Structures are given as C-alpha cells and as structure tokens.
Structure 1
Amino acid sequence: MSSAQYPLESRPHSVAHLFLSRVEATPEREAYRYPAAVDGGGEAWRSLTWAQTAQRVKAIAAGLLALGLQSEERVAISSSTRIEWILADMGVMCAGAAATAVYPSTNGEETAYILADSGSRAIFVENGEQLAKVAAHRGELPDLRYVVLFDPAPDAAGAEGLEVLTLAGLEQRGMEHLTKNPDAVESTVQGIAPEQLATLIYTSGTTGRPKGVRLVHDCWSYQGVAQESTGLVLADDVQFLWLPLSHVFGKALIAGQVLSGHVMAVDGRVDRIITNLPVVRPTIMASAPRVFEKVYNGIAARARAEGGVKYKIFKWAAKVAREYARTGQEQMVSTGRRTVPLSLTVQHALADKLVYGKIRAAFGGSLRGSASGSAALAPDIGYFFAGAGVNVLEGYGLTETSAACTVNPADDSRVGTVGKPLPGTEVRIAEDGEILLRGPGIMRGYHNLPDKTAEVLDSDGWFRTGDIGEIDKDGYVRITDRKKDLFKTSGGKYVAPTEIEGRFKAVCPFASNILVIGNDRNYCTALITLDETVIMPWAGANGLAGRTYTEVVTSPEVHTLINGFVQDLNSSLQRWQTLKKFAVLPRDLDIEHGELTPSLKVKRPVVEREYADLIESMYEGAREA
C-alpha cells in the first residue's frame, strides 16, 4: 500500500478505512513496540504485528458497540502516551464513535468540564488517579455511563453510578459480540462518512476555558495521505513516539504511520527519552523545541564542566556547525545548490569526528529526520543541530488544523522557517500580516460555540490562525509571532516577544523559560527561569555547592551570570527591544501551577498575574527610554 494508491483527491473516508487496509496489506509486519513488565522485575520491549493490533482494536471496537455506543457519540481517553491509548483510540474510530482527548495532567474540575461539554458517554482512564478525578465530579456528568481502566485500580468500586470495566474485560465483551456478529466492525467502518465527527480535542488554552475542536474523519485521512506524499515517512522507518497523544500532533503522527505502515515505538515517559533513544534507534522522531533546547543545554553544560581543551573544542565545533549549516542554506536559497567553502568543509569534517558523531549517537545513531512543532525553535539551535547532522524539520500547525499544515522538506530544510504547505493546504497572508489557512485538515468548528467559530472561520473556509508571518519567494512560511502576543511600548514601538525569547534561549544554555514584558511600558523587561539540571552542576563548581535550587537561582552570583547572557542578547537587538531589567524566578514554570499548557506553552496572563508585584518592581521610578 503506497501513497500512489491514495491520491489526495480520492483518499479513503477515514483512518479506520486506512487501518483495515493496512492490516490486510501487511498483516505480519511489525506495527508497534512498547515497554512491558517482565517476570522478576524490570521491563522489556514487546511487539505487535498489524494482525495482532487488529485483533485487539476490533475487540475494543466491538466492545464499545456491545455497550450501545452510537455513531459520533463521544468516548474520552485520559492517559499518558502508551500502546493502550493507540488501541483505544483506534477502537473508538472503528466503532464509528468520536474520541475526546483529555490530558492526564488536567485537574479534576477541568476534566469534568471537558467530559460534560463533550457529552462523553464513556471514558478510558489510565489508572486509579484518573478514575478518582472522574468519580469526584460524578454529579456533573449526566451523560457518562462507562469507565474502562488500562491499569487495575483497587478502589474502582467507588465510582458510584458508573459501570467500571478493565480493558481486558471490554475486549472480552467485544470478542463475545463478534462471535454473534463477526462482521460488526467491518460493516461499521464501511458506514463511516468523511464528515462524521472523529475527534474532539480541547485547546489547552493559554487564556480562558478550553474550546472543543471538532475534527472529522476526513481531517485525519487527509493528514495520513498528505504526510506520506511528502516522503517524510517511509515504510521501513522506525519512529519513536513519546509526545502526548492527547495533543493533536501525536494524533496526526498515528495517521501517517497507519498509511505508511512503519514501526512505531511507543513510550510517553519523558524521563526515559534519553534512555530509550539508543535502544529504539529511531530513523524518525517528532518532538517539541524544548527537548532540543534541553539536549543542547545539556551538551554545552557537560563540555563546560570538563573545561580546558574539551570546552574549547566544543565551542569551536558549535560555531562551525552553525556556520556550516547557515552557509549551506544561504547557498541553496541563492543558487539552488548547498555548497560550502572548502576550508569550512574541512573544519566541519574534523568537528564531526570530534563532536558531532557523539551527538548523533545520543539520538540513537540512525535518525534521518526529526519533526519539531508546537512552538518556535530558536534559529541558532536549529543551525547547530543541522550542522551536527541531526536534521530537525520545523513544521507548523494548530489543534484547529489537525496538526501539521506546513513542514520543511527533508532535502531542503530551511532553519527559521516552518517549511512549505502540505499538499492540499493553502496559505495566505492577510493585510495585517495574519496567516490564513484553508484545506481538508481545518476543523469544522468549535463544539457548542458557533460565535467563536465565526470569529476564526469565514464562509470561504479560511481559518484565521492568530499568528503573524510571511511567505518567501520559494513558498516557505515564516512565523514571526502570535498576533495576540505582539505588544507596543509606550514609545509606540512594536515588539515581538517570541523572537526575543527564542534568541535568549540560543545564547543562554541555562535558560528554561523566559517571558518578555513591555506592553504599554517605556522599556522591556523579562522574567527568566533556569534549567535545574544545568544550573546546579554550574553552582557546584562555582562556590555554591550545598545550596538548594531556589538559593542558587536567587543568588547574586547567578544574577551576574545571567546578566552576561542578557547583555549578549541586547547587543543583537534594536534599542527598544533590549531588556533593561530582568528577574530570575525562584522556581521553574510548570503545568501543576497552571503556568504551562500540557504542550509546554507559557500561559502569559497567568505568569504575569502571579508575578505582578515583581514585574512592577522592575518599573519603579522608570524614566522614558
């Protein structure tokens, strides 16, 4: 089965159709790998073929049908990324129902809101913790009747008024249903229409209540066919999936994998990423910019700790990597050939032997491409990895576009852009600079919110993204900032905070998060948080050993250290963009305090409210700048 069998204009009605076709085409090929407990303790990676996957998916789908789930009725999933998430989601689709994705980190109140707003009748939950959130808000969920547990929960009986099953129990019901109705799943899939609701994904919402984004079956079928047609995913790939499947990015990756049929290694435990990479040895991987920033900061910190010649070699190699990648890209843009001067090529070859090979080995040694999305990647970090032979392909998409709508081509990736539109997607720049999108992947509206839908979707199908950008002569899209994040100083100068924040992360290897402030102010300031895994080793080597993280980051020594990076940043900015003052926060931003979304975007209003007094103190006695 190849993309040639599925031209964009005649794609199948749903990923459920794609899934059954994939199983028929390559039943004995490996589909998934996942970690599982073994006797005697520990874990080992296990595999499922496409035929084995289909057996479980059909059992889950038939189990849902046996419970009485009807077409487009919502079934929620609240779990971390694991093989059961994929099986459940595929089962929901093959039952003709619609999945409602819930982040496992979402608190009980917001989980209840999502379940009630979506009208979910059933929910798959990972464990007792997720079940408890549902049970605590049972009275607010009149539509919910069934809970399916991935992991056993001793207190499952406490969910009054709900029928609680294990996943194995649901599959058993499904098998019994199939003995009486052997074609139940296939006939249900054949009845799925392209415009039938497939998924409700609630925006993580940097402000206000999350909105349910209505994505139909055709959105996901389009994603699968469009992704494969780019050549970014191949049948013999091994993809490592750790991204949250509650996020639209993770969901879109499954659509592409089902079409191409490559192996997907699934483990959502973020603390195991570095351990898993050499074991999985992925050829492709999708990630968020924060991961690449942390990898870069970790590499730089280790080199600094080794000091002497090794640190000098790293700094030289990092400079060569950036120069090599930037020069090659500039030549590609101007001449159509990625040529680099001989002297730089020789330096690059030496740096590769000394440094870059170790970096590639950290990613498993077989990585040919890594898609990056959900936020902007600082160009200096992008050039570093490109020069080191780690091909980071930035893309762009939103929940409302069923993830990817643009992506960099593997053979002509351009750092600082988010690539070209996927086949079938149109991009236009409005008069005010806002990026407009149109295509099959665009949502069909916000659930129960027609007024909000009308604000962003016009009658011709153009979606207003809220992002500011431009398209170059070769069709590459560049994002300059979020429209709502742009601010104007009291002096009348516009500032794009995301650009400044990205530059700072590139110059400061200790940075975790930064928030640039300055709306209606006479100069810009910043709130900065530091990466504990990087700053604490520095502290130990610089007379601050034995102090807590909070004591370290609030010390005069660290303020002096970070001030040096701020001055480096300021030297590359226009006068009105420069940071006149900054504050290092006593802890990092996190999801638990509501400062980050589950996809690790900063909730600016929340942070600004929480640290309002600190922000005001940086403007006390200010004179016009």
Structure 2
Amino acid sequence: MAVDPKKQTSLHCLYYWAERTPDNVYLTQPYPDGRVEDITWAQAADQVSRMAAYLNSLGLPARSNLGILGKNSAHWILADLAVWAAGHVSVPLYPTLNGETAAYVLEHSEAKLLFLGKLDGTADGWNDIKHHIPADLPIVSLPLSPRDDTPKWQDIIIEQAPADPRLPEPDALATIVYTSGSTGRPKGVMHSFRTMISVADGLQQLFPVSSSERMLSYLPLAHVAERAAVETQSLYYGFHLYFANSLDTFQEDLQRARPTLFFSVPRLWMKFYLGVNAKLPLKKQKILFKIPILNSLVKKKVLKQLGLDHCRAALTGAAPLSGEIIGWYRGLGLELLEVYGMSENFGYSHCNRPGQARLGTVGTTNPGVTHRIGEGDEVQVKSPGQMLGYYKNEEKTREDMTGDGFLKTGDMGEIDQDGFLRITGRVKDLFKTSKGKYVVPVPIENRFNHPKAEVVCVAGANQSQPCLMILLSEEARVELDRGADRGELEQELTRELDAVNANSESHEKVAFVVVVKEPWTMENGMLTPTMKIKRNVIEDFYNQRMEDWFSQKRKVIWEF
C-alpha cells in the first residue's frame, strides 16, 4: 500500500475530510469553566484558511519558521496546520521548558512569530518562559493563552477572509522538532511532510484503523510521539480527537473520549497500575481473578474505571516498561504493545503486532524499515520517517548517520532469530565501577518492580557497586506521611533488591536502595517532557551524597 494521493500531506488530509465529512466532529476541547467545544472538519478547515490568510498579510519571509508554544489543545493542531497552509515551517516548543532553553529554541530556529497557547504557570514553564520571549517577536494568542495583549485567534478568524491554502510538496520541510534534551542542548530535527505521513502509511499495513476511532491527546504535541501517533493519524484517517483539560480532570476527560486507540508512556502506565493497586491490592486481585464468575466482571470494571474499556489497541513507548506491568494489563484484557522510535525517524521504527507481541522486545521492524546492530551493540535503523538532518548542524547530522544511510540510535540492542528487537540500554548510560567493570543501568531498572516504586534510577559511577534510587508513588508517599509502617515497606524493598541481585552478575549487584525525598518532575529538570529520567541531572543532584550512602552499609536508605 502507499500514501493516498489525495492525502499526501497532513494539510491535504484536512481539506480531504472537510470535503468528504464536513459535519463530523474532528476536535473536542474542554475548558476550565466546564464548557466543551466541538470543532467539525469543515470548521477546522475554515479556521485554518482564515489564519493562513492572516499570516500571509504579515509579509513574513517565505518559508519562515513559526513557533508554537502551549499545552495540547484543539487550536495547537489548527495553528500547526495554519502555518503549513501559509507556506511556513512549524517549530513546536515544550510547555515545560525553562526560560533559557525556550529562548535558545526561538533564537536558534530564527522564529519569526509565536503562537502562544494553553499555559497557566502551574504545571508548565510559563512563569520563567515569559521573561525570555523577545519583545519584538510577533505573537498570536490561541484560546487559553496567558496573554491578552496580543492579536487573538478568535478575533482573527472572525475578521479575516479565508485564503486558498498553499498545499505543500511532500518533500518540503514541514517542521523542526527540538529534542527533549535529556543531555545537553536540544537539537532541531528537520522533517518533511513525507517523513511525517510515512507513519500513517505504515500503520495501515499493521492495524485496521478507520474514521470511527477515538483518541485522547495529552502527551506533549511538541514531541514526535504524540505528533505521529495522534495528530498525523487523526488527520490521515479522519477520526475524532479529544483533549484533556487538566491533570485534575484527566479521568473525566478520558471517560468523555472513551478512546479506541490509546498511546501513553511508561510513567503513566505505571501510575494507572499503582492507582488501581491502591484501591484493589494485588493480593486481592489474584483472589478475585481466580473466581470464574467474578473474573471478567472485575477486569471489565477496572478497565471501565480507567476509561479504557473501549480501547482495542494500546501502545507504550518512549522508554522501557517492564514485562510484569505489560503482563498485568494483558491479564485485564488490554493488549498493551511496546513500540519504538525516535525524534530522528518521526517515531517510525519498530512495533509489536496484535496477537504477535513478544514480551521484553519492542517488536519487529515497521513496513519499509531495516535495522542492524552496529559497533558497540548500537541499534542502527533506516526508516521512511528518517529526518532530513539537524537544523544548522551538518556536523552532528554526519556524526549520527552512517555512510549508507542508517541512523545511529544511541540505543544498545539485540535482534533475535525472528527479527524482534530487544533494547538493552543506552550507549551513553553505561558507567564503570571503581573496579573498572561496565554497568548497564536499564536492564537492572526494568527488573526492579515493586508496586510502590514509580520511577527508578541506577547510579554509582566510580563506586564499588551500583546503587538504585527510587521515587515512591504519590499514593505511597501520602500513606507514609499519614503514619503507614515504614518497616514493612523496607522489608518488601529488601526482598525485591535480593530478587534483582539473584539474577545479576557480581559487578552489577545493587549495593542498596535509596528512597528519595525530592520528587522527579519535568519542572525541576529531572524528567524529560516525555517523562523519561534525565539520568545525568539525577546523578549530578545526588552525587555528593554517594559516599555517605555507601558508608552506611544498609540495604535500604531513606532520605526522609
């Protein structure tokens, strides 16, 4: 199969559905006051055409880079489409960036205008970012923007007559996606319309997707994972896309959407798992699941409370998720499938197929993708979604690409005889103990699966043995604050540590577990916007405490 010529770019897709199903709802946006706005395909196309006309009226240089800053919203996607309809290039910025990094992205990308969207300064970086936006940078405020002193989307689309869209060539530059910056300065990954749409073209060969699907968009649209799995798919297949109002209303938003397809990252799959276990402990689950009459009833009730009872395909990616957690979801009847991709190939690389998944792997190559293992066990991939290169950084582009066109992923891996890829760690995550032995953190972290440990991080460079730091789940922290028995939890963590060490080589046996006090968040820089740990930031934060921790010679150390 190949890309439908009438839908050869995301912008083509918008006008295709506006003509074919004009009255179908495309976007559903909830607001803090309880109001919910539905935007049909015809309305979406009309708003995009009017905003494109406004952008044309500004006399911006041809093919300008225009920024989009805000949390996910219906108008984030409409702004993205309007940028393209006016013949420009979109540059998304993570809403959780600090001011300095936001300023760097705006300057490096030479942004000529900024669409400012949903921000409130509570769970985002707006309070810092607002001081770093250049005073002479034109701004258009989307609904829910924190600024009311700029031209507003709502006013512009009323006053501006629509323009005929400039439908782009597939190989034209569409967007510059700045990496989440787990190490160093973010890099600007350049994608064409063709590389972006390749993910939809490939998916139609793997899953039966139709215009009757429903998805909830809540992971950052500034990242390729959400852009590929949600924005591009909804445009290509013409299905209904819902948005979340806030973290506090997330469960309500999920119930409204009742998604048939759901994509999330391991941190959130873990939070769902811990939330269920807090209400229905694992021991009780095992008892109930053994009773034939109650088995299916309880499982259906759990999925319904999660808002996933209509979900027929659930995906996890961006970081490893333990086989135990995946197995738990599958036991409920939700086939959770691990997928794999990078910003540099627009997330189009590997996936597990329904009914053919293999635990502990990220699946086999997607249609059109080839892979191999290079020097140092590094995974190398060639994909239809491969980037055009890094913006204004040809040297880094050459460094990350092989002479024959493969991307050096930076991930270590193994390919089994059936072509399933197992990610075994990050090349840059390896560290040496004081004995000169290499430690690979990710497999150790994946084996530590205590139900109250939300995130773990293995550290210990230049120490005699590695150690493991744990951030407890919010529920577990609240329980301890209310006087729960710390001794019982310590015994459980000790048993889990012993189980992990029983299957580890001598130099990778974990000396102790540290239960950390400081939460790891995007706001304090310890998590990326896709909720992966920033290992170098976490290691630097705790580095001075290592000597004291090792000197205590205890299996479990509490920071609080």
Aligned equivalent of 2:275, options 276, 282, 298: 298
Stretch deviating more after TM superposition (411-420 or 118-127):
411-420
Letter in 2 for 1:283: T
Paired residues in the alignment total 547
> Cα gap change, 1:268/1:217 in structure 2, threshold over 3 Å: closer, same or farther?
farther
Check conservation: 1:559, 1:584, Cα contact below 8 A: no
> Cα gap change, 1:597/1:132 in structure 2, threshold over 3 Å: closer, same or farther?
closer
> Cα gap change, 1:535/1:128 in structure 2, threshold over 3 Å: closer, same or farther?
closer
1:356 maps onto 2:299 in alignment: yes
Question: Which residue is equivalent to 2:253?
Answer: 276
| Whole-angstrom CA distance in 2 between matches of 1:518 and 1:225 | 44
Structural mapping, 1:138-177, within 5 Å: 138=133, 145-151=137-143, 156-157=148-149, 164-172=150-158, 175-176=160-161
Question: Which residue is equivalent to 1:72?
Answer: 63
Letter in 1 for 2:331: G
| Secondary structure, counterpart of 2:280 in structure 1 | helix
Check conservation: 2:244, 2:254, Cα contact below 8 A: no
> Cα gap change, 1:22/1:470 in structure 2, threshold over 3 Å: closer, same or farther?
farther
Check conservation: 1:487, 1:496, Cα contact below 8 A: yes
TM-score (norm. length: structure 2): 0.90
Q: What's the offset of the Cα at 1:91? A: 1.1
Q: What's the offset of the Cα at 1:80? A: 0.4
Question: Which residue is equivalent to 2:414?
Answer: 470
Question: Which residue is equivalent to 1:98?
Answer: 89
Question: Which residue is equivalent to 1:43?
Answer: 34
| Whole-angstrom CA distance in 2 between matches of 1:360 and 1:154 | 36
Unaligned runs of 5+ in 1: 158-163, 305-310, 321-346, 544-554
Offset from partner CA, 1:247-295 (integer Å, 9 cap, x none): 1111112111111111111226333332222232111111111111111
Offset from partner CA, 1:364-408 (integer Å, 9 cap, x none): 321111111111111100011112111111100111111232121
| Secondary structure, counterpart of 1:353 in structure 2 | helix
| Secondary structure, counterpart of 2:31 in structure 1 | strand
Question: Which residue is equivalent to 1:31?
Answer: 26
Question: Which residue is equivalent to 1:314?
Answer: 285
Q: What's the offset of the Cα at 1:578? A: 2.2
Question: Which residue is equivalent to 1:107?
Answer: 98
Q: What's the offset of the Cα at 1:441? A: 0.6
Q: What's the offset of the Cα at 1:20? A: 1.9
Question: Which residue is equivalent to 2:463?
Answer: 521
Stretch deviating more after TM superposition (601-610 or 472-481):
472-481
Offset from partner CA, 1:76-117 (integer Å, 9 cap, x none): 111001111111111112222111111111121111110000
Q: What's the offset of the Cα at 1:411? A: 3.0
Structural mapping, 1:592-611, within 5 Å: 592-611=523-542
> Cα gap change, 1:368/1:621 in structure 2, threshold over 3 Å: closer, same or farther?
closer
> Cα gap change, 1:517/1:390 in structure 2, threshold over 3 Å: closer, same or farther?
same
Q: What's the offset of the Cα at 1:471? A: 2.1
Q: What's the offset of the Cα at 1:445? A: 1.1
Runs of 4 or more, structure 1, over 6 Å off, are: 152-155
Structural mapping, 1:437-586, within 5 Å: 437-504=381-448, 506=449, 508-537=450-479, 540=482, 542=484, 559-586=490-517
Q: What's the offset of the Cα at 1:439? A: 2.2
Q: What's the offset of the Cα at 1:558? A: 5.0
1:249 maps onto 2:249 in alignment: no
Q: What's the offset of the Cα at 1:621? A: 9.1
| Whole-angstrom CA distance in 1 between matches of 2:144 and 2:364 | 46
Letter in 1 for 2:409: T
| Whole-angstrom CA distance in 2 between matches of 1:167 and 1:32 | 16
Aligned equivalent of 2:379, options 406, 428, 435: 435
Check conservation: 1:71, 1:95, Cα contact below 8 A: no
Question: Which residue is equivalent to 2:266?
Answer: 289
Structural mapping, 1:406-421, within 5 Å: 406-421=350-365
Structural mapping, 1:323-338, within 5 Å: none
> Alignment RMSD, CA only?
2.6
Letter in 2 for 1:500: I
Q: What's the offset of the Cα at 1:493? A: 4.2
| Whole-angstrom CA distance in 2 between matches of 1:350 and 1:409 | 30
Question: Which residue is equivalent to 1:342?
Answer: none
| Whole-angstrom CA distance in 2 between matches of 1:431 and 1:352 | 49
Letter in 2 for 1:586: K
| Secondary structure, counterpart of 2:429 in structure 1 | coil
1:17 maps onto 2:7 in alignment: no
Q: What's the offset of the Cα at 1:431? A: 4.0
| Whole-angstrom CA distance in 2 between matches of 1:134 and 1:575 | 47
Offset from partner CA, 1:18-41 (integer Å, 9 cap, x none): 22223222222221222136xxxx
Check conservation: 1:512, 1:530, Cα contact below 8 A: yes
Q: Which has the higher helix share?
A: 1
Check conservation: 1:128, 1:156, Cα contact below 8 A: no
Q: What's the offset of the Cα at 1:362? A: 2.2
1:59 maps onto 2:3 in alignment: no
Larger radius of gyration: 1
Check conservation: 1:523, 1:580, Cα contact below 8 A: yes
| Whole-angstrom CA distance in 2 between matches of 1:608 and 1:313 | 38
Q: What's the offset of the Cα at 1:233? A: 2.8
| Secondary structure, counterpart of 1:403 in structure 2 | coil
| Whole-angstrom CA distance in 1 between matches of 2:496 and 2:129 | 46
Check conservation: 1:149, 1:167, Cα contact below 8 A: yes
> Cα gap change, 1:413/1:533 in structure 2, threshold over 3 Å: closer, same or farther?
same
> Cα gap change, 1:68/1:282 in structure 2, threshold over 3 Å: closer, same or farther?
same
Letter in 1 for 2:40: T
Q: What's the offset of the Cα at 1:450? A: 1.3
Question: Which residue is equivalent to 2:558?
Answer: none
Letter in 2 for 1:381: I
| Whole-angstrom CA distance in 1 between matches of 2:444 and 2:297 | 32
Check conservation: 2:278, 2:475, Cα contact below 8 A: no
TM-score (norm. length: structure 1): 0.81
| Whole-angstrom CA distance in 2 between matches of 1:538 and 1:272 | 26
Check conservation: 1:197, 1:216, Cα contact below 8 A: yes
| Whole-angstrom CA distance in 2 between matches of 1:154 and 1:388 | 41
Offset from partner CA, 1:297-333 (integer Å, 9 cap, x none): 12222234xxxxxx6331446xx7xxxxxxxxxxxxx
| Whole-angstrom CA distance in 2 between matches of 1:368 and 1:562 | 35
Offset from partner CA, 1:546-571 (integer Å, 9 cap, x none): xxxxxxxxx66654453343233333
| Secondary structure, counterpart of 2:354 in structure 1 | coil
Check conservation: 1:109, 1:137, Cα contact below 8 A: yes
